A and B are shown apart, each in its own frame.
Chain A
Amino acid sequence: MAVLTYREAIRAALSEELARDENVVLMGEEVAQFHGAYKVSEGLLEKFGPKRIVDTPISEAGFIGMGVGASMLGIRPVMELMFWSFYSVAFDQILNNAANVRYMSGGLINCPIVIRGPANGGTNVGATHSHTPENVLANHPGIKVVVPATAADAKGLLKSAIRDNDPVMFLENTILYGEKGEVSADPELLIPLGLADVKRQGIDLTIVTYGRCVLHSLAAAEILENDHDISVEVIDLRTIRPLDIDTVLASVKKTHRVLIVEEQKPFASVGSQLAFMIQREAFDDLDGPIHRLATIDAPAIYSPPVETEQLPNPQRVLKAALAAVA
């Protein structure tokens, strides 16, 4: 075990997989000579050379589409989007090509591509740069969606994603890049996609969450325990599709109350799907309506102090949790 930042953990996963499989390549804007816009790929060009670590022009549709094509012919491209917000430029390539090609070929073609990069608000970069598209992506069968919250999860999940034979969308977070955690150095320690993690045990309320909101939820859970004598279980989904609903349902059986916390616009969000599934499969276990805390429903505001309030934050989680157990 070593203490690594989330950024270093992702870099370690990339490095190990690049070393393990010569068909893995990393491509994207500024990933090589500039060391990555968020320095995730720092040092990889020096270690693996320009055949494996490739700077692309600013043409997301072109290079993501090229990666999809290359993956059909045996390459395992890891494509970095400088921000997931720019996925819209490559939307057609991701949703029409990567998601559908296996299906439309009757299973003849695989598309083992990973598309990764940060997808988050909270950095005051305005509405064009603050999208959280995990719900949009997960709406497309054929695609897998991963949103890690911790350094260890980021490493183990990215390794699984790279070895996965389906297209995997890997959504990181610029604010988490500097967060530290214990990370295994074992190059064969993989975290399977589709397995949630109970980040905190509790009996009074289940918070279902993922991504940076896991940290907010844990912070709120601490306060709830200390100041309100409320014991909260925090479930980190880690993967959105495939979805580990069983871990969620088992927790609901125990706590009987649910709060979903997500950095998502509420309409047709990941939480919307969760709420449907929980009421459908655990209706009798519920002691009250399912609650949800989401991003306030508007494009991302720029103004720094107001953006903090638009997103879930520990204080907002605390308030929502108190309402959920009231």
Chain B
Amino acid sequence: MSKKATSTIEKKDAAPIGSSFAQAQINADLTKGERIDLYRKMLRIRRFEERSLRAYQGKKIGGFLHLYIGQEAVAVGCCSLMGKNDHVITAYRDHGHAIAVGMDTKALMAELYGKVTGCSKGKGGSMHYFAPSLNYWGGHGIVGGQIPLGTGLAYALKYRGLKGASMAFMGDGAVNQGAVHEAYNLAALWDLPVIFVVENNGYSMGTSQDRSSAGPGLAQRAEAYGMNWGTCFGHDIYEVRATMDKFLKLARDESKPSVVEIDTYRYRGHSVADPDKTYRTRDEIEEYRRTKDPIQVFQQKLIAEGVLTDVFVEQIDTEAKAEADLAADFAEASPFPTTDDIQKDVYWESDHPDRRTSKGRLFFD
């Protein structure tokens, strides 16, 4: 995992559970209800994905299924800070962010099933979720490819004089793509309000960070571009929020980009059909589950705070499971697209024939 280095914003030690991050203003201000909502969202992601895994094993879902299980505090923490002009874009491990920004799990599950009621009408699949109305710009399958886009969202905000920020998420493997470095340079050069969020789960497929990335740390590469950077313990949603809040303010108020590396962990294989114990030990996975599970960690905090009770925990879980089952039932009952749908949504003009202005053939056979 990452060798710790000192952030340019704040000197910090790796944060243990029960740290002072709960007292950070952004967290201290949370109402009881808001705290419960954060917890509920993480659990809804977990149960949704567990249900989708069962559907995958039952051959209801094709292609890849990259689960976010273990990383929930990152997406929920970051997205809970979104204001009306804040935007999110991520890679193919995109279910958590989708639920975190508020997408409907029925449409998300239906997309996995390839149904026409899916969020992309069955055209995108697991890796390609989008919800522009919720400032969620996907869902991208090419490692690192979304990072210039996220930079472009920030450019658009600044250009239009809007006070907001773009959060561009990537994995620890994506930091070695040229496009990521080109985006870093542009963001720093033009002071774009973007936060490059590296979700460092220790591995890109079967390759550990040590075997793929040179240098002292992933976020620290920001220094080469004169950008601010920070690291954070991503198993504690309070810490995620407290850390990201600072960088978001820097982006919104001063239009300054930064790189934030968040330590996290995935429990499942890279995609669920991939082997997951050839490059790491079962013990390592179990250790994370036992001591750092973001949902457990937060649950304990909320119980200690007197916000949650065992009974309430049980109730939230029952509801989350029921929601996931409902989503699966909805997906199951929905129709597939038809072959006529294949050529819809390709061009705006062909979907709006009465407003077409170009001439000539658009499609070929």
Residue numbers of A with Cβ under 8 A of B are: 29-30, 33-35, 37, 55, 57-62, 85-86, 88-89, 123-129, 265-267, 292, 294, 296-299, 301-307, 309-310
Chain B, range 134-185, C-beta contacts under 8 Å to A: 140-145, 173-174, 176-179
Q: Which residues of B contact A307 (CB under 8 A)?
A: 62
Given A298-B342, A302-B63, A309-B339: A128 touches B123 (CB 8 Å cut-off):
no
Q: State the Cβ distance, A49 to closest chain B Cβ, in Å.
A: 16
Inter-chain CB contacts under 8 Å: number: 144
A62 contacts B178, CB within 8 Å? yes
Interface of A is mostly: loop
B143 contacts A58, CB within 8 Å? yes
Instruction: Tell me, in angstroms, the Cα distance from A304 to B115 when the chains sit together.
Output: 9
Does B330 have its Cβ within 8 Å of any Cβ on chain A?
no
Q: Which residues of B contact A35 (CB under 8 A)?
A: 278
Instruction: Tell me, in angstroms, the Cα distance from A39 to B279 when the chains sit together.
Output: 15
A297 contacts B363, CB within 8 Å? yes
Instruction: Tell me, in angstroms, the Cα distance from A307 to B128 when the chains sit together.
Output: 16
15 contacts between A and B (CB under 8 A): A58-B176, A58-B177, A60-B177, A89-B144, A124-B114, A126-B123, A126-B141, A299-B346, A301-B337, A301-B342, A302-B128, A303-B115, A303-B116, A306-B336, A306-B342
Does B272 have its Cβ within 8 Å of any Cβ on chain A?
no
Which of A59, A89, A297 has the largest number of chain B CB atoms within 10 A?
A59
* Number of B residues with CB within 8 Å of any CB on chain A: 47
Q: Which residues of A contact B177 (CB under 8 A)?
A: 58-61, 89
Q: Which residues of A contact B123 (CB under 8 A)?
A: 126-127, 299, 301-303
Interchain residue pairs A-B with the least CB separation, the first 10: A124-B62, A302-B125, A128-B141, A303-B114, A34-B206, A303-B122, A124-B63, A304-B62, A57-B212, A266-B364
B338 contacts A34, CB within 8 Å? no
Given A57-B213, A302-B114, A306-B341: A297 touches B364 (CB 8 Å cut-off):
yes
Instruction: Please name the residue on chain A nearest to B60 by beta carbon.
Output: A304
- Which residue in A57, A129, A299, A302 is a CB contact (below 8 Å) of B207? A57
B63 contacts A29, CB within 8 Å? no
Instruction: Tell me, in angstroms, the Cα distance from A135 to B353 when the chains sit together.
Output: 30
- Which residue in B114, B116, B127, B142 is a CB contact (below 8 Å) of A88? B142
Instruction: Tell me, in angstroms, the Cα distance from A29 to B173 when the chains sit together.
Output: 11
A126 contacts B125, CB within 8 Å? yes
Does B124 have its Cβ within 8 Å of any Cβ on chain A?
yes
Q: Which residues of A contact B275 (CB under 8 A)?
A: 34
- Which residue in B111, B114, B173, B178 is a CB contact (below 8 Å) of A61? B178
Instruction: Tell me, in angstroms, the Cα distance from A29 to B111 when the chains sit together.
Output: 29
Instruction: Tell me, in angstroms, the Cα distance from A124 to B123 when the chains sit together.
Output: 10
Instruction: Tell me, in angstroms, the Cα distance from A35 to B275 when the chains sit together.
Output: 11
- Which residue in B122, B144, B211 is a CB contact (below 8 Å) of A306? B122
- Which residue in A30, A297, A306, A309 is a CB contact (below 8 Å) of B365? A297
B125 contacts A124, CB within 8 Å? yes
A55 contacts B337, CB within 8 Å? no
